[in-house]
Structure 1
Amino acid sequence: MMRAWTLPILLALCGSALATALALGGNYGTAATLLLVFALLACLNSPLAFPKPISALEAQRRSAADGRPVVFWRPGCTYCLQLRIRLGRSARQLHWVDIWRDPAGAAAVREANDGNETVPTVVVAGRPHTNPDPSWVREQLSSST
């Protein structure tokens, strides 16, 4: 759990330190802007930017019932963040598995990617797809509902 928050906490601390240094030097506008940028980066790289993760077993069960894709991801992954942002609101309809929280999810990703924990890995109808195009994922989602 703590590993998922390491990068956002480091971003927030670095942003605070830089903003403080700039503010002490009299650059209040730059300090405020920099602090906002680092806060945004911290939020985007935190688990808060993603729908609530579930276990791999629960995601597979739900996917079998409703046909929606399962997305294996991890906090701090720029490709996962890019997929999440480009999917927009439809991302909430997918089943998200944080491989840092779920060892079974990490094992499923390693099995699909020749032993590597390459994310995002999207499973559609039991077939894994590594780092797929977001528009393709959106198509899979619309065809499943």
Structure 2
Amino acid sequence: MFKKDPPRRPRPATPHAEAVEHVEQGGVAIYWRPGCPFCSMLDRGLGPDAEKATWTNIWEDREAMAFVESLNDGNATVPTVVTRTEHFVAASPQEIATTKGLIADAGKVL
């Protein structure tokens, strides 16, 4: 039998504009959508550090969806991680570790 993932922690609805501001201040923004298994994997993989990033639901914010599509060759691929200097889709354990490091580094800047 398969083990069910624990329910995702509820996140405040952070608008795209606030995510952009967070990134401009040196933080990490994560664009996600409900039901995305890779988003859940990233959330679990980050553990308590997940709370230090700004999470924006692309299904609730048209600007966020358009932004993610602009970064990913027209695709609304999530979870998309964004910093001042880079962006990538965090769909592997290595990318989750990279995201965790970026969040740790952002904590030193903020």
The TM-score with structure 2 as length reference comes to 0.83
Match of 1:117 in 2: 76
Residue identity opposite 1:82 in structure 2: M
Secondary structure at the residue paired with 1:101?
coil
Matching residue within 5, 9, 18 for 1:58: 18
Task: Give distance in 1, aligned partners of 2:13 and 2:29.
Answer: 11
- 8 Å contact kept, 1:50–1:84: no
Listed as ranges, the gaps of 5+ residues in structure 1 are 1-36
Match of 1:137 in 2: 99
Match of 2:63 in 1: 104
Task: Give distance in 2, aligned partners of 1:95 and 1:109.
Answer: 14
- 8 Å contact kept, 2:15–2:64: yes
Per the TM alignment, residue 75 of structure 1 is displaced from its structure 2 partner at its CA by 0.2
Matching residue within 22, 44, 60 for 1:85: 44
Match of 1:17 in 2: none
Task: Give distance in 1, aligned partners of 2:83 and 2:29.
Answer: 7
Match of 1:72 in 2: 31
Task: Give distance in 2, aligned partners of 1:127 and 1:60.
Answer: 13
Task: Give distance in 1, aligned partners of 2:68 and 2:98.
Answer: 19
Task: Give distance in 2, aligned partners of 1:56 and 1:101.
Answer: 10
Structure with the largest fraction of helix: 1
Count of residues paired in the alignment: 102
Provide the identity percentage. 28
Residue identity opposite 1:135 in structure 2: A
Residue identity opposite 1:134 in structure 2: I
Q: Which has the larger radius of gyration?
A: 1
The TM-score with structure 1 as length reference comes to 0.64
Which structure has more relative contact order (CA 8 Å, sep 6+)? It is 2
